[in-house]
Structure 1
Amino acid sequence: MFDWFAFQTGATAFIIAFAAAVAFFVAFKFIYQLVTPYHESSLIRQGNTAAAVSLGGALIGFVLPLASALSQTVSLMEFAAWAVLAGVIQIVAFIVVSRLVYRGLAARIEAGEMAAGIYLGSISIGVGLLNAACMTA
């Protein structure tokens, strides 16, 4: 027999968690694009695939630990703390890679060099996977 009350309770929790995750996703995308020295939105509109790949990697790299946090946490505040930490780690990874490890990376992405975009996107996804794996309740 279908338990309507249990469904409503679960659906409400789902909607709240999903809305919070989307809000953190949008906030991360906005902040990440402020940190990068180039304007991904403009570059992507111009057909710059390297910018799309690098931004896509950063977004996936953020969503992986976000998904892990959703499945591991028991409260919205705990989820928020993990989401903020995941965003900070992803942004620090970009700063370290673009300013210390590979100084010409930003210019190469602006120039549309796919190797640079794939490199940064891959690092972002790798950092996100490690971040997600380290999140335990």
Structure 2
Amino acid sequence: MTETLDILWQTLNSGLPILLLHFLTTLALLVLGVGCYALITPYHERDLIRQGNAAAGLTLGGAWVALAIPLAATLATSGVWLDILLWGSVAVLIQLLTFGAFVLLFRDLRAAIESGRIAAATLLVGVQVAVALLNAGAMAG
């Protein structure tokens, strides 16, 4: 029994630092990605959310989820920190480009979100999550 506990302790001591490094790297990429998303949106989500704008809350929440999906796939399939950093960055970039393309196609997005139109926010989140799932599939290869 003591031998088994020693093995488990050794495994935890060797694996936990790696787990934390990988998780914290992915979490940092997620926060950085959402920060970049907030910077490139043509509206100010935080201000709109404070005013009770549900469409802005939906789009920002959707961005968190859409960025987390491919990052989770990268985290699950990569065993090396640099691999997670590289492919996680690519995943974030793809998601930000998705938003950029959506803005180009849906010219009145700013007005729609600022006026609280849930339909526009739902469409944006749907597109972001759909691309995130494809992005995750590609990352998992």
Q: TM-score range by the shorter chain?
A: over 0.9
- Aligned residue for 1:45? 50
Report the secondary structure of 1:112's partner residue.
Answer: coil
- d(CA) in 2 for partners of 1:128 and 1:33? 17
Residues 67-122 of structure 1: CA deviation (Å, up to 9, x unaligned): 000111121111111111111111111111111x2111121011111001111111
Q: CA deviation at 1:24?
A: 0.8
- Choose which of 94, 99, 103 in structure 2 pairs with 1:94: 99
RMSD between aligned residues: 1.1
- Partner secondary structure for residue 47 of structure 1: coil
Does 1:129 find its partner at 2:128? no
The residue that corresponds to 2:60 in the other structure is 55
1:120 aligns with 2:124: yes
Tell me how far 1:19 sits from its aligned partner.
1.0
Number of aligned residue pairs: give it: 136
Residue in structure 2 matching 1:76, options 81, 85, 89: 81
Shift of 1:136: 3.2
Any unmatched runs of 5+ in structure 1?
Answer: none
Structure 1: 4+ residue segments shifted above 2 A = none
Give the structure with higher Rg (CA).
2
Match of 2:111 in 1: 107
Q: Distance in 2 between matches of 1:27 and 1:16?
A: 16
Q: Determine helix, strand or coil for the equivalent of 1:135.
A: helix
Q: Secondary structure at the match of 1:84?
A: helix
Q: Pick from 6, 15, 23 the counterpart of residue 20 of structure 2.
A: 15
User: Which amino acid is 2:50 matched to?
Assistant: R
* Structure 2 length-normalised TM: 0.91
Q: Distance in 2 between matches of 1:110 and 1:91?
A: 20
TM (normalized to structure 1)?
0.94
Calculate percent identity across the aligned residue pairs. Answer: 35
Letter in 2 for 1:42: D
SS in 2 for 1:54: helix
Gaps of 5+ in 2: none
| Equivalent residue letter for 1:34 | L
Q: Match of 2:71?
A: 66
